Structure 1
């Protein structure tokens, strides 16, 4: 069963504006981790907002676990989807980390005993259990985003949407969040959609979708994505430095079975390539 399905969806923000999504079709399987890439304006963030019912398409249908998203079903659909935005401070409502995680549970009428259990569990999942009494606004960027993820995970969604969740973080904070996402993927049976413009962030994905001008430019897996690196550059995406280096090294008779996404992969690839020269 598909977790998320878009059928012939058209969407634009103003009647006089061009289509952001035009006759758009997408199916994401249950428990799949999908990275959706694209430059600014490619339509990738619009997908997340449409899936969560924050936006309504002008035409077409969107299904969440076979339920058509409408004004009548939107609240039931939102119980199944957790959405984490790029700025975690936009999601903070509590004076402490514990209060903030509790907020969504209180709105859903979760009994206190169950609420306390969920708060503890979700903070452990993101390694923030020692910060329950801290004020969210005094945390680092990576810590704030981990609290935002914990607040969403406490509601036990079937689908987790991360909309540019690392774009406002420094390298340390970005690494923290990617480690957290990977841990959640290993621990839980959950559908995860990562909206990003950063090609460094896709290594955990089972599937990679590249957006361009409101439609799917490429639907592939991580190991095959950079086979079309010239095409990715032509639509405005910046290649990871390790991929750029590997491309240059190929001009000097090094050979790579796949392009490396991080330093560890690059070192391993260079070692193997050097042995095979």
Structure 2
């Protein structure tokens, strides 16, 4: 079932500027994991804001769960969509971790006994149950992002939007958040849209949408994209180490049955290649 659909969507922030998005059309199936990539200014964050109803297109239509977004139904649409920002502090409203996770539930009028159960479950899911009464501003960057994710998951969205949610973290914190999101997706099977400059995150998606100057230029699988793109700089991205190494090995005569996406696949491909020789 299609849960997100863009039909010939155009958007610009004011009439004096060029279009940020130009005739964007795509469909996303419920439960799919989709990464959106492209250089700065390509329109990635604008797409996320349009899905969440923070913006409305000047032309074209957007459907969430079969319902066309408009000003009359936007609050109902937002009940289905959760969003985690680049900077988790932009989402903090309460004094403690408990207050922050409870905020969205209180706004939705969730009964107290249900609310307390969801707070406990969501913090358990991200490994922050021992920080219930801690002040959010005193947590580490990775811990803050875990709390932001817990607050979103507590409202049980069917769509989760990540707007460069790991970009402010160190490599360890980034990996922890990625693993947390993947764990939650296995449990709840929500639809996941990720905006990222980290191609290691892209390898975990079912599909990848590439934007360039407001236009959709690729809609494919990560493996197909990684095997096709030669100039990552044109997308404002740096290729992962695995991709660079695999490309260098191909020039030396190695042949892979499929483009390796991670270290494990690369090692298995090299092992198989050497056995055949």
TM above 0.5, one fold? yes
Give distance in 2, aligned partners of 1:10 and 1:245.
Answer: 39
Give distance in 2, aligned partners of 1:118 and 1:160.
Answer: 17
Match in the other structure for 1:91: 91
Deviations 1:147-172 (A, max 9, x none): 10110010011100111111111101
Deviations 1:84-115 (A, max 9, x none): 11000100111111111001111111110000
Deviations 1:24-58 (A, max 9, x none): 11111111111111111111111000000111111
How big is the alpha-carbon RMSD for the aligned residues of Structure 1 and Structure 2? 1.4
Alignment pair present for 1:71 and 2:71: yes
Query: In 2, are the aligned partners of 1:40 and 1:197 still within 8 Å (CA)?
Result: no
Deviations 1:247-271 (A, max 9, x none): 0111112222333333333333332
Deviating more after overlay: 167-176 vs 197-206 = 197-206
Give distance in 2, aligned partners of 1:193 and 1:66.
Answer: 18
Match of 2:23, SS?
A: strand
Instruction: For structure 1, list consecutive stretches of 5 or more residues without a partner in the other structure.
Output: none
Query: In 1, are the aligned partners of 2:21 and 2:214 still within 8 Å (CA)?
Result: yes
Match in the other structure for 2:171: 171
Match in the other structure for 2:189: 189
Match in the other structure for 2:127: 127
Q: What is the correspondence of 1:35-50 to structure 2 with a 5 Å cutoff? A: 35-50=35-50
Match in the other structure for 2:25: 25
Give distance in 1, aligned partners of 2:276 and 2:145.
Answer: 43
Query: In 1, are the aligned partners of 2:142 and 2:169 still within 8 Å (CA)?
Result: yes
- 1:272 Cα offset (Å): 2.4
Query: In 1, are the aligned partners of 2:223 and 2:261 still within 8 Å (CA)?
Result: no
Alignment pair present for 1:109 and 2:109: yes
Match of 2:36, SS?
A: strand
Deviations 1:210-245 (A, max 9, x none): 111112111111222212121544333211111011
Match in the other structure for 1:54: 54
Deviating more after overlay: 165-174 vs 197-206 = 197-206
Match in the other structure for 1:203: 203
Match of 2:61, SS?
A: strand
Instruction: For structure 2, list consecutive stretches of 5 or more residues without a partner in the other structure.
Output: none
Deviating more after overlay: 121-130 vs 95-104 = 121-130
With normalisation by structure 2, the TM-score equals 0.96
Give distance in 1, aligned partners of 2:141 and 2:223.
Answer: 30
Change (3 A) 1:235 1:204: closer
Deviations 1:3-30 (A, max 9, x none): 1111111101121111110111111111
Deviating more after overlay: 257-266 vs 151-160 = 257-266
Give distance in 1, aligned partners of 2:232 and 2:26.
Answer: 20
Give distance in 1, aligned partners of 2:162 and 2:58.
Answer: 24
Deviations 1:198-221 (A, max 9, x none): 211112211111111112111111
- 1:276 Cα offset (Å): 3.1
Change (3 A) 1:259 1:150: same
- 1:66 Cα offset (Å): 1.2
